[in-house]
Chains A and B, each alone.
Chain A
C-alpha cells in the first residue's frame, strides 16, 4: 500500500501531544504494590504457619467478588483485573490476627469493598483506606477474636502470645528490638516483620510508585512525639524506636498511609499528614484504651486529606515572593 493510501485510510492516529507515556498504568501500579507485599506474606507463613495463606486467599476472593458484584449490579464497567480490589483484600488480611476466623474475614472484605470503597464511587473516590475501614468494622464487630493472638513459630521463653504493645501497656515489658525487627513476635499476620515490610516498601519507593515523604514524615513524627514522652518519663513511656518497630507502624507507614487515593497529593500535605498520623498514634498508644493506634490514626487523618490538599496547594512558578 502506498504512503498516501495509508494516510487516506486513516491508518495514522491524529491526536494531540504528548505522544509518549511513562511505563506506569493503574493496573501495573496496583499489581506492583501487590507484588511488593510478597515478603510480608512469606514472613507470615514463616512465623504463623501456612494457614495464614487461607485467610489471605479468603479476603482476596471476597474483596474481588464484592467489587465484581457491585459493579455488575450498578452497571459499571467491571475493573476487577486492575488489582485494586485484590490489594484491598490482601492488605486487610495482613492486618488480621493469625488464625482469624474465615467467616469474619469474608465479612470484613465485603465491608471493605462495599462500604469502604464502592459506596463512595469506586476507585479514586473513597475517603477512607478501604482495607482499614474493613479492619475497623471487624474490630467493632468481633472485639474478642480480633485481639486473640497466637505465639509466633520460634517461641523462646521471652516471647509471649501477647503483642509487644500490649505487653508494654499492661505489664511494662519491653520486647527485645531484634525480635521486633525480624518479626518473631505476636501480632497481626503481616505486620510483625520490619525487614519484610522494608524490602517491599523500599522497592516501591525506588521504582517511583510510593512517594518517600509519607513514610519519612511518619518516622520523623514517631521519633519526635514518641521521643518527647520518653524523655519526660522513660519508665512510663517506651523509647521511640520501640514505637517504630512495634505493632502495625511499619506496615501502616509503607502500605496503608501511602494509599494514593486517601493520602494528600501535595508535598507539603504529605508531611502534615504523615506527622499527624504519628502524633495520633503516640497519643492512642500512650493514653488510649487500646494498645495499638495505627489503624485509627490513619483513618482519622484520611478524613483530613481533602482539607490538607486544599490548604497546601503549592505556589505556582514565578509567584514565590
Chain B
C-alpha cells in the first residue's frame, strides 16, 4: 500500500465546506412514512416497466418494476403495503414521471434477494446481482452500475478507482459510510474488482477527512492490493474525469468514457450498495443521505426508504428555520433546487440541503471584468468568459468550436465570478444548441 499525498488537478476552487454540521453524526434510520411514491425513473436511461398493479400486496424489497432495455434498472419497494396507484409525480429534476404509490401496512415483511457468499461469489454472479438489485451510481449521475461493470470486451480496464472525495460542500454521506462501515466499503471495492477482473484498486480521498483516512489506513493494512491516495482538497475533484486525472494522470478525451482510458470509477455509496446486495441480498431501496444546511433545525445523516417525500425528511430533522431560503437536492454546487416538498427521495439522493438567505446571498450582476478567474479555475481548461460572450451574441457555432459541449456544469466558474454572471446557465444554453445541432 502506497500513500501519495497531495496529488490534485489543475484549476478548481475550495468553497467553504460546512461539513462540520453533520460530520460527527452517525446514520439514523427514518421511520417509513404511511405512503410513498417510488419513481420509475431513478436512473439514467429508460423508465422501468411496472410489474405490479393497483391493490397488489408488496413487501420490503419486492420487485415492482423491471428494467427496460440495456440502460435501465429495476425498482423495488422500500415498504410493505398495498399499491394504491400508478401515477405521475414530480421528480427532483423538475420533470413529471410515473411513480408507483404504495400505502404502508403494519406487516413490515421483507422479500430480499438470496444472500451470496462473499468469499466464493463469482464475477458473473456479482454483475447479475448488481443488475437485479437495481443498483445505480450513487455519486449523483445514477448511471446503471451493472452497465459500467460490463465494459465491451475490446476495452482493457486496468484500474478501479473508489471515489471517496465527496468534494461537494455540506455532504458527509460517504465520509460517514467510511467511518461506520470501513471494512464493508473496502469489500465493496474488492467485489467490483472481482466482477471486472481488475487487479489494481485505488481509493481516492481528499485530505479534509483525516479521521476517515486513518480508519482506511488501519483496515487497508489487511488488503495490500488496494492503494489509498490522499488528494489535496479541491472542488470538483470528485467528478469522474477529474478524479482520474488527479489519481492516475490520465485524461479522458472529449466524448469518451473512463473505460476508454482503462478506468472504472465507483462511488463509496455504490460500493456499500453492492456489498449489501451481494452479501445480504438487499436491493437498492434505501438512500444514505446527508440532510444539512443552516436552514434545517437538526442536520443529520439518514438512511431513508426511497420514495419518502422530502417533507417527511425535513420533519424528521426538526423542520425548517424561519430564514430558510432554498431547498436543494444533492450538493450545493450541482444540486437541484426544489419547489415542492412532496417530491420523493430516490436511490441516488445523496443530500438534502436547506440553505438560508445568508448562505445563498448574491450580489447584483455587473459587466464582465475580464478578470480571467473563470478561465483559471475551469477544471476542463475551457474559457467560460469567452464562451458566454459568444452565446450571449448567439454565436453558437463559434462556442461549439471552442468545445462548449465538454462543459460538465460543475459551477466552478459561476462560483468564482466576481461579476455574478450566471455563467453555468449561459453555458447550458450553448450546450443545448450544440446538442440539438449535433455539433
Chain A residues with CB under 8 Å of chain B are: 3-4, 6-7, 11-22, 24-29, 79, 82, 122-125, 211, 260-267, 270, 309, 313-320
- Assess A314 versus B371: contact at CB under 8 Å? Given A3-B320, A17-B335, A20-B360: no
Q: A256 vs B160: C-alpha distance in the bound complex, in angstroms?
A: 49
- Assess A315 versus B415: contact at CB under 8 Å? Given A17-B424, A264-B372: no
**A-B interface, 5 closest residue pairs, ranked by CB to CB distance from nearest:** A265-B372, A18-B411, A124-B367, A260-B371, A317-B380
Say yes or no: is B153 at the interface (Cβ < 8 Å to chain A): no
Say yes or no: is B6 at the interface (Cβ < 8 Å to chain A): no
Within the complex, what minimum Cβ distance (angstroms) separates A222 from chain B?
A: 23
Q: A125 vs B362: C-alpha distance in the bound complex, in angstroms?
A: 23
Determine whether the beta carbon of B335 is less than 8 Å from that of A265. no
Contact of A25 among B337, B363, B428 (CB under 8 A): B363
Residues of A within 8 A of B371 (CB): 29, 260, 265
Minimum CB distance partner of A266 in chain B: B375
Say yes or no: is B314 at the interface (Cβ < 8 Å to chain A): yes
Known: A3-B341, A18-B334. 17 other contacts (CB 8 A): A11-B324, A12-B337, A13-B325, A16-B337, A17-B335, A17-B409, A21-B415, A25-B420, A267-B375, A267-B376, A270-B372, A315-B381, A316-B381, A316-B382, A318-B380, A319-B254, A319-B403
Minimum CB distance partner of A210 in chain B: B371
Residues from 264 to 286 in B contacting A, C-beta threshold 8 Å: none
Minimum CB distance partner of B407 in chain A: A316
Within the complex, what minimum Cβ distance (angstroms) separates B93 from chain A?
A: 11
Q: A88 vs B324: C-alpha distance in the bound complex, in angstroms?
A: 40
Chain B residues with CB under 8 Å of chain A are: 13, 15-16, 169, 241, 245, 251-254, 256, 311, 314-315, 319-320, 324-328, 332-341, 353, 355, 359-363, 366-372, 375-376, 379-383, 385-386, 402-403, 406, 409, 411, 414-416, 418-420, 424-425, 428
26 contacts between A and B (CB under 8 A): A7-B340, A12-B338, A13-B325, A13-B360, A14-B338, A15-B326, A16-B428, A17-B332, A17-B334, A17-B337, A17-B409, A18-B334, A18-B414, A20-B360, A20-B415, A21-B361, A22-B418, A27-B366, A124-B368, A211-B372, A260-B371, A265-B375, A266-B383, A270-B372, A316-B254, A317-B245
Counting chain B CB atoms within 10 Å of each CB, which of A11, A309, A320 scores highest? A309
Q: A154 vs B305: C-alpha distance in the bound complex, in angstroms?
A: 78
Contact of A20 among B320, B333, B379 (CB under 8 A): B333
Determine whether the beta carbon of B355 is less than 8 Å from that of A19. yes
Counting chain A CB atoms within 10 Å of each CB, which of B325, B339, B370, B425 scores highest? B370
Within the complex, what minimum Cβ distance (angstroms) separates B260 from chain A?
A: 10
Within the complex, what minimum Cβ distance (angstroms) separates A87 from chain B?
A: 12
Determine whether the beta carbon of A318 is less than 8 Å from that of B363. no
Within the complex, what minimum Cβ distance (angstroms) separates A72 from chain B?
A: 18
Residues of A within 8 A of B333 (CB): 17-20
Within the complex, what minimum Cβ distance (angstroms) separates B309 from chain A?
A: 11
Contact of B369 among A19, A261, A270 (CB under 8 A): A261
Q: A24 vs B416: C-alpha distance in the bound complex, in angstroms?
A: 7
- Assess A12 versus B418: contact at CB under 8 Å? Given A124-B367, A313-B383: no
Q: A211 vs B341: C-alpha distance in the bound complex, in angstroms?
A: 44
Q: A22 vs B254: C-alpha distance in the bound complex, in angstroms?
A: 29
Determine whether the beta carbon of B425 is less than 8 Å from that of A12. no
Residues of B within 8 A of A314 (CB): 375, 381, 383
Q: A3 vs B403: C-alpha distance in the bound complex, in angstroms?
A: 43
Within the complex, what minimum Cβ distance (angstroms) separates B389 from chain A?
A: 10
Contact of A123 among B254, B327, B369 (CB under 8 A): B369
Minimum CB distance partner of A26 in chain B: B366
- Assess A26 versus B419: contact at CB under 8 Å? Given A124-B367, A260-B372, A316-B254: yes
